[in-house]
Amino acid sequence: MEKEYDPVTHPKHYTSGSIETIDYIESVCGQLKNGFEGFLIGNVIKYASRQDKKNGIQDVKKLIWYANKFVQYKEKTDGGSD
């Protein structure tokens, strides 16, 4: 069932296809044990999903920033091991 548009609860730049970005982030990040890692990965997903609908290259730069921050955090906390 398609959700009714609402700029606060269902903004168009976070809605694509059959799932809202927030629902996908919850699914992915809900499995992570570390809240900060979830925050970083959630922002990568957020900016990737909206870049063609909102801020374009600025959102791509933000997703790269959060991805790099995630790598730095992982290297600092667990040596970056897989």
| Local structure of residue 69 (DSSP, 8 states) | H
Count of domains observed in the chain: 1
> What's this model's pTM, rounded to 2 decimal places?
0.71
Q: Which domain holds residue 59?
A: 12-78
CA distance 49 to 79: 29
C-alpha distances (whole Å) from 63 to each of 2, 22, 74, 81 are: 27, 16, 16, 22
3-15, pLDDT tens digit by residue?
566 766 666 666 6
Residue 1 lies in a domain: no
Element (H, E) at 19: strand 19-20
Residue 49 lies in a domain: yes
Q: pLDDT over 90 for what percent of the chain?
A: 41
Please report the pLDDT score of residue 21 as a whole number. 80
21-36, pLDDT tens digit by residue?
888 888 888 877 889 9
Residue 4 lies in a domain: no
- Assign 82 a pLDDT band (cuts: 50, 70, 90): low
Q: What is the mean pLDDT of residues 45-52?
A: 90
Residue 5 lies in a domain: no
